[in-house]
Amino acid sequence: SANDRPTGQQQTATYDSAFLKACRREPVPHTPVWFMRQAGRSLPEYRKVREGTAMLESCMMPELVTEITLQPVRRHGVDAAIYFSDIVVPLKAIGIDLDIKPGVGPVVEKPVRTRADLERLRPLEPDDVTYVTEAVRMLVGELGATPLIGFAGAPFTLASYLVEGGPSRNHEHTKAMMYGDPQLWADLLDRLAGITSAFLKVQIEAGASAVQLFDSWVGALAPADYRRSVMPASAKVFEAVSGYGVPRIHFGVGTGELLGLMGEAGADVVGVDWRVPLDEAARRVGPGKALQGNIDPAVLFAPREAVETKAREVLDAAAGLEGHVFNLGHGVLPNTDPAALTRLVEYVHEQTAR
């Protein structure tokens, strides 16, 4: 049944998958492909099952989560599934009053701005997210050899939503706290690191075979500020899950100047957006790490030949890497033609078959 724990045989097949081999920088039968935001509004079957259910509500329904997570695996033949959830789910689970507004993103009712506000950020216990454990177990049972990627938001990106109260272009309240009250900021990030670590552990213990830490908005920082004010909290998260032996992926947007530090924070795989070619990214990250990326998601709106030319460029830049996981440089855009994604998976698999 769907609730069966993985058998030894299944675990071995998953361990030997192209995706996990690439993360470990081992030889692969083909370059593995998955897409950030692969499960979402680009798919008609997603819109159909989500109809009438709010985003956060759907994240707490294990059967729905399982179906949505499997949809892109069935349709595109991607090499990994990513757990359907959102970075604000663990915050909701500890009682923060927030919602995900369609077309806007996460909105926090009472922003976190003072020391007293920190008290609302209590530690996350596995019992707060039993629906996650249940969904991950179901998924791993259904996925066979296809690995499941668990994920969480990194402390900086979560802090930005909490301190701003919603999506932000300039992160002004967040930076005001970071520069103006470094101790409060450090304590906030430390609490978030604890919550994020606990949330990743729940997913790994239920059967996720890799994790991605999304620091989507950290590209807003200069390297010195990242190193001083953010890296210790992100490093704490990577350290907390280091004992499981599952690959740890780290990704942010506009992080060309931070790639080396993001690797140093403790990632095994560094995600790269489309602004830095992968050969240059490899120089910035240094040896001993795999890279993930990095075709511009907007390229998928161009004709097939243009998509393939761009994909070829990415593969050529990745030719000398120790390990490469093909992905977009950020999430799938909502109006992307799903057929273009399926064709891209086929193209990368064909071009790299060994």
Which residue from 106, 155, 194, 293 is in contact with ligand CP3, where contact means CB under 6 A?
106
- 41 catalytic residue (yes or no): yes
Mask for 291-330, x = binds ligand CP3 (CB under 6 A): ----------------------------------------
Q: Is 38 assigned to a binding site?
A: yes
Which residue from 185, 214, 274, 347 is in contact with ligand CP3, where contact means CB under 6 A?
214
Q: Do 296 and 272 touch, CB atoms closer than 8 A?
A: no
Q: Is 10 assigned to a binding site?
A: no
- 86 catalytic residue (yes or no): yes
**Separation between Cα atoms, residue 3 and residue 277, nearest integer Å:** 42
CA-to-CA dists, residue 80 to 55, 170, 251, 289, angstroms: 22, 33, 16, 19
Which residue from 33, 82, 195, 204 is in contact with ligand CP3, where contact means CB under 6 A?
82
Catalytic-role residue among 24, 37, 120, 228? 37
Question: Alpha-carbon Rg of the chain, whole angstroms?
Answer: 19
- Tell whether residue 264 is a contact of ligand CP3 (CB under 6 A): no
Which residue from 84, 156, 238, 347 is in contact with ligand CP3, where contact means CB under 6 A?
84
- 316 catalytic residue (yes or no): no
Which residue from 40, 266, 297, 338 is in contact with ligand CP3, where contact means CB under 6 A?
40
CB-nearer residue toward ligand CP3: 254 or 260: 254
**Separation between Cα atoms, residue 198 and residue 203, nearest integer Å:** 9
* Count of residues near ligand CP3 by CB under 6 A: 22
CB-nearer residue toward ligand CP3: 38 or 294: 38
Please choose, out of 82-90, 130-138, 184-192, 259-267, the segment that lies near ligand CP3 by the rule CB under 6 A.
Answer: 82-90
- Tell whether residue 199 is a contact of ligand CP3 (CB under 6 A): no
List residues bridging with 54 in a β-sheet: none
- Tell whether residue 55 is a contact of ligand CP3 (CB under 6 A): yes
Q: Is 25 assigned to a binding site?
A: no
The contacts found for 58-62 with CB under 8 angstroms, 24 or more apart, are: 58/84, 59/84, 59/85, 59/86, 59/89, 59/131, 60/131, 61/131, 62/131, 62/134, 62/135, 62/138
Helices (H), the chain: 8-15, 18-23, 44-50, 55-59, 62-76, 89-93, 115-118, 130-143, 155-164, 172-180, 182-206, 223-229, 231-240, 259-264, 278-285, 304-317, 338-352
Tell me, rounded to whole angstroms, the distance of Cα 331 from its chain centroid: 9
- Tell whether residue 105 is a contact of ligand CP3 (CB under 6 A): yes
Three-state SS sequence of 51-97: CCCCHHHHHCCHHHHHHHHHHHHHHHCCCCEECCCCCCHHHHHCCCC
- Tell whether residue 94 is a contact of ligand CP3 (CB under 6 A): no
Name the closest residue to ligand CP3 (Cβ).
Answer: 216
List residues bridging with 343 in a β-sheet: none
- Tell whether residue 36 is a contact of ligand CP3 (CB under 6 A): yes
Q: Is 153 assigned to a binding site?
A: no
- 161 catalytic residue (yes or no): yes
Token pair 């993001």 in the structure block, residue: 262
Q: What's the min distance (Å) between Cβ of 68 and ligand CP3?
A: 8
Q: From 254, 295, 248, 308, select the one nearest 36 (Cα to Cα).
A: 295
**Separation between Cα atoms, residue 59 and residue 151, nearest integer Å:** 13
- 244 catalytic residue (yes or no): no
List residues bridging with 269 in a β-sheet: 249, 290
Catalytic-role residue among 75, 113, 137, 161? 161
CB-nearer residue toward ligand CP3: 152 or 311: 152
Q: In this structure, are strands 248-251 and 105-108 parallel, antiparallel, or unpaired?
A: unpaired
Q: What residues are designated binding site?
A: 37-41, 86, 161, 216, 330
Residues with catalytic roles:
37, 41, 50, 86, 161
Residues that bind ligand CP3 (CB under 6 A): 36-41, 55, 82, 84, 86-87, 100, 102-106, 151, 167, 214, 216, 331
Binding residues for substrate, as ranges, are: 37-41, 86, 161, 216, 330
